Each structure stands twice: as C-alpha cells, then as structure tokens.
A and B are shown apart, each in its own frame.
Chain A
Amino acid sequence: MQNWKKGFMFVVVMVLAFSLIVGCGSGNQTQGGTTTDNNQPADNAQTTIEGSITAVGSSALQPLVEKAAQDFMAKNPKAKIQVQGGGSGTGLSQVAQGGADIGNSDIFAEEKSGIPADQLVDHKVAVVGMAAVANPDVGVDNLTTQQLVDIFTGKITNWKEVGGKDQAITLVNRPASSGTRATFKKYALGGVEEAKGIEEDSSGTVRKIIAETPGAIGYLAFSYLDGSVKPLKLDGVEPTKENVVTNDYKVWAYEHMYTKGEPQGLAKAFLEYILSDEVQKGAVVDGGYIPVTDMKVERDAQGNVTQK
C-alpha cells in the first residue's frame, strides 16, 4: 500500500514536471524568436510595445490581419499577436465574452442577435465590395436589381429571360448565417428571402463551382475575383473600387475589428498600425480590400449612408 502511494506520488510529480518542461519549452521558443528579431535595427519609436493578444473571427478578414500582425511583430519583437479564423459569429461572441482581445467581423455587431453591441467598440479597418458573379458562358453581363432579386428568389430560372443563353440558372449561396450572405441579401437583394440552392461555406469553393457549373450565379468579395468567373454589372454600375468608394455600387461591407471597451496597450497599438497609411496603402490594397480611408461615404449599422 505504501509503495502504491509512492508510485502514485511519483507519477503526479512526473506529470507536473513534464507540463512544466513543455510550458517552459514554448516560452523559450518565443524568447528565441524575439532575440533574433532584436538584432534588427528598430526603425520605430514604439520598441516598448509588448504583451500578447489574440484576434479571432472572420475568415474574409483573416489574411489581412495575419499579414499586418506579422509585420507588426517584426517591428515590435516583444509583441505577440495570435490570429485565428472561425467566422464572424465566433469573433463577435469571443470578444464579447472576453475570450479574445479583438473580434474580427464582416458585419456590425448590432446586426447579430445575442451580441451586447453596446459593450463593444467598433474599429472599421477596411471595406470589401461584393459582386454578383456568374459563369462566364451565360451571355449576360448586366442585371437590374429587379432581375437579380427575381433570380435569387427563384422567379427567373433561365438565363434567356434576362437576355442570355437558354440555360437553367443554378444558385450558389453562402450558408444562411454567413456575414457575406447577410450583406448581399441586404444591399443587393433588398432583404428578400432567397430561394434554396447550393450552399457552400468557403469563397474559394463558391468560385470553383461557379466557374465550372454551366448557368451558375453567386456572389464573391472583390478579393476573390480572378477572371475565372464573370462579375455582373448591377443596374449598369460596374463592381469596382471606384464605384464603391462613392457608394454608386452599393453592395459592400466594412471589415470590423471589435474590442471590448476602448482598446488598451498592444491591442490599441496594433489597431493604430492597421489604420496607418503603411497598412492601408499596402496590405489592404494588396489583399483586394478597399482602404477605409479612401471611402467618400460612411454607413452605419442601419444602412444609412452619409457623405464624409
């Protein structure tokens, strides 16, 4: 019995020691990484910025935040920023519950039920335009809003009804809860209920399906347009950055980074960095987003647009 107890104690000690080693190991790694970075000349006065934060949410915004975080950490070796995807819903709920320091979202917190929007501070870091896109062979390059609504509600089921080929229309939607779908529904379709069609979670898959399926129509963020699918003009307005900044093309959304209360320390510095010209004119444009500083209009959570 005495021996059994001894053995048990030994195991407990071993487990504790092991977890300690693992913990220290990862800590050492970070330190090792920062040491090398320290050797680079700091071209920035903000060398005192340190700490560790997490940014979680929107997979549409994730590549931009990741790029910005990398550059930021290279400049501030003592700062550690973890970026994770997971969707706008996850981002908003995580930041509201304190699970993440920054919650990335494609939609206003006010638009998502169950989020205490009044506790969250909104930082709009970029704008993303969305285009209705079709398979290149449908023979249509412009739709009126009414035609688009009729297509997405299932009233029009053949491309010939809107001046295209004699071909059945296939709808490719994002899932019901998706932020992109909510934006498209609100600003392109005027909030009508869509007919049920194919639903795909990732924009990459949506693009592949539209490119390969005859008669397919869906919608994609501008950053996903690559020539394999045809962006459609809406009421004669081309889906371009120039038309978005003036709100002539209305289907766009802000990319939000929410914090719970006013951001402090590292989170504040990082958000300032993302809004700086360096990122806005660099990573934002490179990633296919529109710099929030370029916008000539402003839009609130209710969809009211005001000139800046």
Chain B
Amino acid sequence: MAQDGPITLTDLVAVLRDCAGEDDGVDLGGDIADRAFTDLGYDSVAMMEVSARMVERFGLRLDEARLFELGTPAEMLRCLNQAAAGDGEVRS
C-alpha cells in the first residue's frame, strides 16, 4: 500500500475527482493546494469520503477529529505524509 515517495497533490486530486466529483466552476488541475476545500465545493461529508479513500489507498489511519481541521489540500497532504514517514498513524 505504501508508495515510493510522498503522496502528491496529483494523488489527492485523483481521489477528489473519483469519489467526490468536481464543480464545473473549479479547475482541480490548477493551483489549488492552498485553497480551502469549502471554496472548491467540498463539504464536511465530502471530506469524510475523501479522507476515507485516501486512507484506504495509502494504508494510513486518519483521526476523524483531526480531519475537520484540515482546511486545504496542502494541509491534508502534509498530515498524510507525516503519517507515512512515521508509524502510519496520523497525529495532530
């Protein structure tokens, strides 16, 4: 499950598109790393779904309380990659 190298924005965008869809007015291929998930059209349920699929894909356990503090793709990736470098558990 663990992949070579860090989890990238491309990985996250693929999961976003696949499980939570894409707003017509948003270009997920653009520079979205620091835009808020809410601006990109994703609500809290979408975030639960995205995090479940990211965790499933990369074999990491993501604490739900922590999940809702992750406001942007960059923050989520940082959190996941810290976990990947550690023991697989995402900590705050």
Please say whether chains A and B are actual partners in one complex: no
Report which A residues bind B (CB closer than 8 A).
Answer: none
Q: Which residues of B contact A (CB under 8 A)?
A: none
